């Protein structure tokens, strides 16, 4: 099971002028693989995820999606009047599927998502990290095959962000989902990923695909970071 883009291009009208945001992008993400996309601000990383999620069509090229896929933006977008469980089940309500089953699955997953005892809590009663875990729980209930994560930890403080990175890696390993993770943080990408796509400045193109060896040591990790940084 995989999602793939082939020769994707997208242009937007900005202040009345056409601006090509992504150009000739091809990549493939398999279920069970954690991949990141790194690049400078404005290079089209978020647009890439939005195209994959079907927010709008590409101008040219082809997108093939096998299995379920869901995009989580930087803001958690939890509905403030709904509990954690009610937020998690919202996709089932929208699509007219089995809401009771979605709620049951969410309750079963609360411990894995670090939310045991908080299923009936409102978003205002949660910390920043817990809100992001609740948003990821909603994402998994909505789509259990592929997650598109757009800098989900960008607004967290440094200590919470580090804890969330390690937690996300464990959850990904446990659930076996495919992840495409957008970040501008090279350290974060190397820590989390098996594969890193490096994008050029706008119009964004994939200029390198870097494989991260399992159990990479500190020396090789440092060299890999230098290699990626030199490409940006």
CATH of the domain at 198: 3.40.50.300
Distances (CA, A) of 77 to 46, 70, 134, 220: 16, 13, 10, 38
Report pTM.
0.89
Per-residue pLDDT of the chain (232 residues; tens, 9 = 90+): 899 999 999 999 888 889 999 999 999 999 999 999 999 888 889 999 999 988 989 999 999 988 889 888 878 889 999 999 999 998 888 887 788 888 999 999 999 999 999 999 999 999 988 998 899 899 888 888 999 999 888 778 888 888 889 989 989 999 999 999 999 899 999 999 999 999 999 899 999 999 998 888 888 888 888 889 888 8
Q: Which of 210, 136, 213 is nearest to 179 (CA)?
A: 136
Backbone angles phi, psi at 218, to 5 degrees: -65, -35
Distances (CA, A) of 136 to 6, 38, 78, 186: 28, 21, 10, 22
pLDDT of residue 156: 80
Kindly state whether residues 49 and 108 are assigned to the same domain: no
pLDDT of residue 42: 85
Domain final position from 143, 176, 194:
143
Residues 6+ apart with CB under 8 A from 60: 7, 8, 9
Helices H / strands E in the chain, number of each: 8, 9
- The residue segments making up the domain with residue 204 are 1-68+145-232
Kindly state whether residues 189 and 106 are assigned to the same domain: no
pLDDT of residue 88: 92
* Structural domain count of the chain: 2
Kindly state whether residues 64 and 157 are assigned to the same domain: yes
Kindly state whether residues 136 and 149 are assigned to the same domain: no
pLDDT of residue 225: 86
Kindly state whether residues 230 and 151 are assigned to the same domain: yes
Domain final position from 143, 171, 186:
143
Kindly state whether residues 33 and 125 are assigned to the same domain: no
Return the bridge partners of 121, or none. Answer: none
Kindly state whether residues 155 and 220 are assigned to the same domain: yes
Kindly state whether residues 190 and 98 are assigned to the same domain: no
CA distance 48 to 22: 7
Kindly state whether residues 26 and 53 are assigned to the same domain: yes
Kindly state whether residues 29 and 136 are assigned to the same domain: no
Kindly state whether residues 153 and 130 are assigned to the same domain: no
Degrees to nearest 5, angle at CA 86 with 108 and 132: 75
Domain final position from 143, 159, 174:
143
SS3 category, 65? strand
Kindly state whether residues 122 and 152 are assigned to the same domain: no
């Amino acid at each position: 099971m995989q999602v793939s883009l082939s020769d994707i291009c997208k242009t937007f009208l900005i202040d009345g002028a056409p601006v090509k945001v992504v150009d000739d992008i091809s990549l493939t993400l398999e279920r069970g693989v954690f991949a990141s996309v790194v690049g400078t601000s404005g290079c089209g990383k978020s647009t890439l995820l939005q195209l994959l999620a079907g927010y709008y069509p590409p101008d040219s090229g082809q997108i093939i999606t096998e299995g379920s896929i869901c995009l989580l933006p930087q803001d958690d977008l939890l509905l403030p009047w709904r509990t954690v469980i009610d937020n998690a089940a919202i996709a089932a309500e929208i699509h007219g599927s089995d809401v009771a089953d979605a709620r049951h699955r969410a309750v079963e997953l609360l411990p894995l998502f670090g939310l045991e005892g908080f299923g009936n809590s409102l978003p205002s009663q949660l910390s920043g990290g817990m809100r992001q875990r609740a948003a990821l729980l909603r994402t998994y209930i909505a789509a259990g095959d592929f997650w598109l994560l757009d800098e989900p930890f960008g607004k967290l403080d440094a200590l919470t962000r580090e804890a969330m990175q390690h937690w996300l890696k464990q959850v990904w390993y446990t659930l076996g989902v495919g992840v495409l993770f957008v970040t501008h943080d090279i350290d974060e990408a190397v820590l989390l990923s098996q594969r890193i796509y490096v994008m050029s400045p706008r119009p964004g193109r994939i200029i390198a695909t870097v494989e991260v060896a399992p159990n990479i040591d500190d020396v090789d990790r440092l060299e890999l970071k230098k290699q990626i940084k030199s490409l940006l």
